[in-house]
Amino acid sequence: MKSTLPQILPVSSPYDGPGLSRRGFLELGAGGLVASWFLRPHAAWAESASLAVTPKASARNAIFVFLPGAPSQVDMWDLKEGAWLPSDFAPTSMGAGVRWPAGLLPKLGGALADVSIVRSVRSSALVHGLGQTWVQIARNPTGATGSIAPHLGAIAALELAPLKVATDVLPAFVALNTGGISGAGYLPSTYSPFSVRPTATGLASLTHPDGSARFALRWNDLQNLDAALRSGQPIGKDASDAAGFYDQAKVLMDSPDVNALFSYSTADSARYGSTAFGNSCLVAKQLLAGNRGARFVQVTLGNWDMHSGIYTKGANNSLYGICPQLDNGLAALLADLKAAPGSVAGKSLFDETLVVAASEFGRTVGALNGQAGRDHFAINTAVFAGGGVKGGQVIGATDAAGSTITDSGVSGRTELRVEDIACTVYSALGIDWTIERHDDPLGRGFEYVPYAKDGVFAPIDRLFG
């Protein structure tokens, strides 16, 4: 739907340039606070939505591959060729208008028939921390609700909670190989990410050193001592959240069989590249295939901030150092999801799982800077697969240099934003992205995606054919 509202962040704003100035930061924060003052407060716990929407509900699960640090889109997903490009990138035509760096990402090149590439995303902030949080909470982190906003995975865990069954012992939201991830915001801590750095032996501390019998006695004593405090949450959310963490940990300790989902063999690790990221992709697949309650998994691969030496061979912080990790891990993940049976006869786990790869912004285009690197740039690319997504397509386009979005790929829009990515994830999972809750501590309403109920942001429906 084409909105009659003004652009949220016009091109002339301080948030689309090469950096976020102190003045711009203050303007952004003040603007959010002033706007929130005029929002009408509502009764607690109610929900509302302005648009009549129908979520796609094409996916049962989601894997969010987060790439903080900002990969160079013009060297990868939206390849632009010039004298600067190393010859061993081996640009190759792959159909659907795709020129692909076959020498840099060979395995993902072989999986393009299952992947859709969206090249028309414009980032709203060009500061790493601000942009990274923005992607994960689908809003301005310095705005009125930024400090209380839950991660997309926390909202997914909340919305999918009614579908839980007795065998669902894992937290619905799991984060692998990640740090600095947004949490549950103002929601109860039961929707926080269960953060794990995978190891071959799986989870630590699933057994108590004093034995299960003695632990059971201590657990019962704890419940008896804390019962009065927990009733009605007399000492606040922090105490309630702590109790929730204890309860989740106890469930895992009582279900030692789930450790097999977090463990892996040397051979399986090798198929994924024998890296921390690859092992995280492997565990993500195992968690969803195990069907024990995990529904939203974030897998993180950082170190993409390449202001210098972006083409330096042998350097960890270069495309030659990081792209093989992404190529091996993500390609193996897609292949294993396709090979694994889904929860419904005739469907694969790939059919039931939306995979999204995204970052906070892109990198400058054309020739490299004076340090042989690329700096921050607003135009970005996101990649989608599985969960009902039609593969082998490119949505949106940039000009020959990659400096301007020439086609958003969506009628009535000149560009897309990370908020549209969030709407797409929610829609695929069967969640109404226009919901506004009224249980927030500010008492002024919390939108899953700000302005979505007014039609400013929406799912990228073209992805689904």
- Per-residue pLDDT of 108-166, as tens digits, reads 999 999 999 999 999 999 999 999 999 999 999 999 999 999 999 999 999 999 999 99
323 pLDDT more than 90: yes
pLDDT of 405 = 98
pLDDT of 235 = 62
- CB-CB neighbours of 315 under 10 Å: 15
Structural domains of the chain sorted by starting position, each given as residue range(s) with its CATH number in brackets: 22-202+263-464 (3.40.720.10), 203-254 (no CATH)
| Residue whose C-alpha is closest to residue 359's, from 84, 15, 99, 76 | 76
pLDDT of 275 = 98
Cβ atoms of residues 273 and 325 within 8 Å: yes
Mean pLDDT of all residues belonging to the chain: 87
Is beta strand 405-407 parallel, antiparallel or unpaired with respect to 397-398? antiparallel
- State if pTM tops 0.85: yes
pLDDT of 228 = 67
pLDDT band at 205 (very low <50, low <70, confident <90, very high): confident
pLDDT of 309 = 98
Q: Cα separation of 132 and 137, whole Å? A: 9
Segment (H or E) for 446: strand 446-447
Q: Which residues of 179-205 are buried (b: 16+ CB within 10 A; e: fewer)?
A: eebbbbbbbebbbbbbbbebeeebbee
pLDDT of 351 = 98
Say which residue, 12 or 223, is predicted with more confidence: 223
pLDDT of 33 = 33
69 pLDDT more than 80: yes
